[in-house]
Amino acid sequence: MLPASLSPVNLRRTVALGLAGLAATAALTACGFNYPTDKPNDLTAGIDYREGTVDILNAVVVAKEANSGTFIATFVNNDLEDPVTLESMSGDNTAIGQVNLSQPLSIPANGLLNLADTQGIPVSGTFALGQFVTLSLQFSDGSTVTLDVPVVLDDGQWAGLDISTPSPSATESPTATESPTASSSS
């Protein structure tokens, strides 16, 4: 005879609870394969491109005002041996008419170049804050990448990154601006 703790009823109950616990553990801890949790999740307004030798991350045009801004992005060179150069950049001649890439920018082999650290690339045209503008980037490896990039305000995480236009306080002289109390005389 079996002891009471190993009776068929208790044994079935123990096995059922164990299996239920295993099923609950598997359901709560495993996502499986190819689910959204194994993909990059960028919570930012910038655009990413990850299909070529050079990844372009968090690309935006930072602007203090309409029609003038600074292209900011991080370039990641996936080539382990050779550097890649951003040779030229152009707009679509509708929203972006002029890009001021003064010299090619080198991205080291298996390295990165953050334009926020190097003053970015000034652009101008007829665009507004919140609009998307089309830019084409040509690299030394022969690849060309065309992106629709958002225009964001020079504020928050992008504060101070628009070098295309001086800030209003830097262009106004102190004598040209009157204080509200000085102009309201009785």
Q: Provide the pLDDT confidence category of residue 18 given band limits of 50, 70 and 90.
A: confident
**Mean pLDDT highest for which of 6-10, 50-54, 98-102?**
50-54
Q: What is the pLDDT of residue 177?
A: 39
pTM of the model: 0.69
pLDDT at 47 (0 to 100): 93
What local confidence, expressed as pLDDT, does residue 22 receive?
76
**Tens-place pLDDT, residues 68-92:** 999 999 999 999 999 999 999 998 8
Rg (CA), the chain: 28
